[in-house]
């Protein structure tokens, strides 16, 4: 998900049974501050699968312990209290503040200095394709791309494809076939 998608997630957007986050809104920064609205394209409105069991469990724990869990319109994430290093669910989540005061310092402590939030999106896409958890089409939908061609252009080349499973399936299919061998005829004899 893009940071604007993550920032706009509400309680209602987490579907733990289906194991997905429903992207229906996003936050964009304007000269009047952050504005919440609908994604700019039809493809931006989507359901993103949660493919990791630990993440699904942790997200479920977060929703169940959320102080405003009964309010389906409540933001999933707390916001920072201005001038303090305190988070509050009564404050709006600020993506830039999150990046500056939480994400970047955490990355630095983990030895990942210079990592940008958007790179997590690329990592997810690469791993989803590499693990075959999603097809190119399914990934395209999950990423909110207008077409599979966009997803293919950006992500397909990142890692060499392993065709060993394909080769084994084709070889097994080919070996199981009974082919009648036709005699060779020489034309013109």
Report the alpha-carbon distance of residue 104 to residue 117 in Å, rounded: 9
Q: How far is CA 170 from the centre of its chain?
A: 31
Q: pLDDT digit string (tens) for 60-109?
A: 999 999 999 999 999 999 998 888 888 899 999 999 989 998 999 999 99
Report the alpha-carbon distance of residue 79 to residue 98 in Å, rounded: 8
Q: pLDDT digit string (tens) for 134-143?
A: 999 999 999 9
Q: In the numeric block, which tokens belong to residue 154?
A: 């950006």
Report the alpha-carbon distance of residue 182 to residue 123 in Å, rounded: 52
What contacts 90, CB < 8 A, 6 or more positions away? 79
Which pLDDT belongs to residue 157? 67
Q: In the numeric block, which tokens belong to residue 40?
A: 């700019």
């Amino acid at each position: 998900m893009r940071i604007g998608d993550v920032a706009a997630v509400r309680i209602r957007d987490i579907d733990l049974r289906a194991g997905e986050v429903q992207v229906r809104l996003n936050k964009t920064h304007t000269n009047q501050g952050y504005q919440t609205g609908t994604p700019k394209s039809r493809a931006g409105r989507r359901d993103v699968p949660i493919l990791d069991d630990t993440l699904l469990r942790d997200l479920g724990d977060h929703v169940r312990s959320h102080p405003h869990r009964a309010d389906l319109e409540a933001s999933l994430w707390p916001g920072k209290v201005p001038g303090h290093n305190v988070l509050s669910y009564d404050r709006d989540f600020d993506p830039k503040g999150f990046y500056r005061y939480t994400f970047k310092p955490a990355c630095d402590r983990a030895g990942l200095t210079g990592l940008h939030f958007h790179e997590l999106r690329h990592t997810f896409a690469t791993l989803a394709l590499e693990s075959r958890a999603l097809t190119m089409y399914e990934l395209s939908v999950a990423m909110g791309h207008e077409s599979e061609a966009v997803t293919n252009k950006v992500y397909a080349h990142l890692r060499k494809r392993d065709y060993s499973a394909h080769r084994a399936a084709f070889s097994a299919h080919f070996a199981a076939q009974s082919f009648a061998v036709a005699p060779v005829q020489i034309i013109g004899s």
